[in-house]
């Protein structure tokens, strides 16, 4: 087993997850890159050709698959330095027009997937000095976002779970952090057209978020539980801490209003 610190990353075949895997490899970590996208994982492995990269298939909604992935990557009695719960999906549009099964799938991956990861990884994390869990939340967890209602709701759930576990797991020397990017230029947002994206634009890259994940891992147990990514998200998150709910509602209503031609 490698003496390097290790990190397990979900949704690692593309976008933010892939960029994060590359960042951690370059920083000297042994990286477990897991996803349901077998071709994307093969492409990542081919691009790095690193002996410190382990790839594997993982459906984050399946707790048994989590147990198998963890046992394969770190061994049954091993330790886990960092868990990055990145896997997630979204669908934009009016709530009543988005297929219900798709919305249920968003909840299963974005919420149940994070819950499964945290629960099944606990023993590994608890055996590790200064272990870290980094959950990908979103600036859409500041206030419920029109045209992203269910996705926004899932990120509120990630926010709450992160806050609770960071307090609960302190006695085990495990810190839990949520990252809050705004819109990120990945395949997931290529076909996303909402009034909020028209108002605010899509200004972050996958590598911007990956760098923030690496910085959060390096700041284990230090700094805020919630870490905004990018100037826009930092401004929104800071403002939300001092802005009354009615003003947040007005701001989001304005951002979601039709743009004049």
- Report the alpha-carbon distance of residue 1 to residue 8 in Å, rounded: 15
| Per-residue tokens: 19 | 């960029």
- Report the alpha-carbon distance of residue 83 to residue 146 in Å, rounded: 30
- Report the alpha-carbon distance of residue 27 to residue 216 in Å, rounded: 13
Listed in order, strand segments (DSSP E) in the chain are: 6-10, 30-35, 53-57, 82-85, 131-136, 174-181, 184-185, 204-205, 226-229
Q: Which residues contact 165 (CB under 8 A, 6 or more apart)?
A: 118, 133, 174, 176
Asked whether 41 and 9 are in contact (CB, 8 A), the reply is no
Q: Is 124 designated active site?
A: no
- Report the alpha-carbon distance of residue 233 to residue 253 in Å, rounded: 17
CB atoms within 10 A of CB 165: 19
Of 29, 124, 143, 151, the catalytic one is: 151
Reading phi first (left if > 0) and then psi (alpha if -120 to 50, else beta), residue 178 is in beta
- Report the alpha-carbon distance of residue 176 to residue 219 in Å, rounded: 11
Asked whether 197 and 183 are in contact (CB, 8 A), the reply is yes
Active site residues: 151
């Amino acid at each position: 087993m490698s003496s390097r610190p290790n990190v397990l990353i979900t949704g690692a075949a593309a976008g933010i997850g892939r960029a994060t895997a590359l960042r951690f490899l370059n920083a000297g970590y042994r990286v477990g890159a897991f996803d349901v996208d077998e071709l994307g994982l093969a492409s990542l492995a081919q691009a790095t050709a690193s002996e410190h990269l382990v790839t594997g298939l993982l459906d984050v909604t399946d707790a048994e698959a989590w147990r198998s992935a963890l046992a394969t990557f770190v061994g049954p009695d091993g330790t886990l330095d960092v868990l990055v719960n990145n896997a997630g999906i979204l669908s934009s549009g009016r709530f009543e027009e988005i297929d219900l099964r798709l919305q249920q799938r968003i909840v299963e991956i974005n919420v149940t997937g994070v819950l499964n990861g945290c629960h099944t990884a606990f023993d590994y994390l608890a055996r590790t000095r200064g272990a870290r869990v980094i959950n990908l939340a979103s600036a859409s967890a500041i206030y419920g976002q029109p045209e992203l209602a269910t996705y926004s709701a899932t990120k509120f759930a990630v926010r709450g779970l992160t806050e609770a576990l960071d307090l609960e797991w302190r006695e085990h020397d495990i810190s839990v952090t949520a990252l809050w990017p705004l819109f990120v230029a990945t395949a997931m947002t290529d076909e996303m057209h909402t009034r909020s994206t028209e108002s605010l634009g899509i200004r972050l890259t996958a590598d911007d978020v990956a760098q923030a994940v690496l910085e959060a891992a390096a700041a284990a147990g230090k700094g805020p539980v919630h870490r905004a990514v990018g100037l826009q998200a930092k401004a929104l998150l800071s403002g939300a801490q001092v802005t009354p709910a009615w003003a947040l509602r007005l701001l989001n209503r304005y951002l979601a209003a039709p743009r004049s031609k």
